[in-house]
Amino acid sequence: MKATFQIICLLSIVFFSSCEDVIEVDLDTAPAKLVIDAALKWKKGTTGNQQTITLTTTTDFYATEVPPASGAIVFVTNENTVRFDFIETPGTGNYVCSNFIPEIGQTYVLTVIYQEQTYTATEQLVAVPQIDSVEQNDNAGLTGNEIEVKFLFQDPENTPNFYLIQFYTPYSVMPEYDVIDDAFFQGNQIFGLYASDRLKIGDEIQFTLHGISQRYYNYLNILLSVAGTNSGSPFQTPPATVRGNIINQTNFNNFALGFFSVSENDQQTYIIQ
> Distances from the Cα of 25 to the Cαs of 28, 30, 32, 240, 244, in angstroms?
10, 16, 20, 22, 31
Q: Average of pLDDT values for 73-87?
A: 97
Of 40, 270, 261, 264, nearest in space to 130 by CA: 264
DSSP states along 232-250: --TTSPPPPP---S-EESS
Do 76 and 108 meet the contact criterion of CB atoms below 8 Å apart? yes
Give CA–CA dist 175/186, Å, rounded.
Answer: 27
Helix spans in the chain (H): 2-18, 214-229
Of 128, 144, 143, nearest in space to 192 by CA: 128
Q: What ranges do the domains of the chain cover? A: 34-126+244-263
Q: What is the residue-averaged pLDDT of the chain? A: 86
Give CA–CA dist 171/180, Å, rounded.
Answer: 24
Give CA–CA dist 261/268, Å, rounded.
Answer: 21
The 3-state secondary structure of 157-214 reads: CCCCCEEEEEEECCCCCCCEEEEEEHHHCCCCEEEEEEEECCCCCCCEEEEEEEEECH
Angle at 260 between CA 171 and CA 128, to 5 degrees: 65
In sign, the C-alpha dihedral spanning 99, 104, 109, 110 is positive
Specify the CATH class of 34-126+244-263 in words.
Answer: mainly beta
Strand ranges across the sheet with 34-43? 176-181, 162-168, 204-212, 257-271, 34-43, 51-57, 94-97, 83-88, 73-78, 107-114, 117-124, 247-248
Q: How confident is the model at residue 13 (pLDDT cuts 50, 70, 90)?
A: very low
Give CA–CA dist 29/35, Å, rounded.
Answer: 16
> Distances from the Cα of 161 to the Cαs of 24, 38, 210, 243, in angstroms?
48, 21, 11, 22
Q: How confident is the model at residue 61 (pLDDT cuts 50, 70, 90)?
A: low
Q: Each residue of 88-130: pLDDT tens digit?
A: 999 999 999 999 999 999 999 999 999 999 999 999 999 999 9
pLDDT value of position 78: 97
β-bridge pairing 94-97 and 83-88: antiparallel
Q: How confident is the model at residue 178 (pLDDT cuts 50, 70, 90)?
A: very high
pLDDT value of position 26: 55
pLDDT value of position 215: 95
Q: How confident is the model at residue 32 (pLDDT cuts 50, 70, 90)?
A: confident
Do 69 and 57 meet the contact criterion of CB atoms below 8 Å apart? yes
5-19, 178-192, 231-245: which has the minimum mean pLDDT? Answer: 5-19
Query: Residue 12 above 60 pLDDT?
Result: no
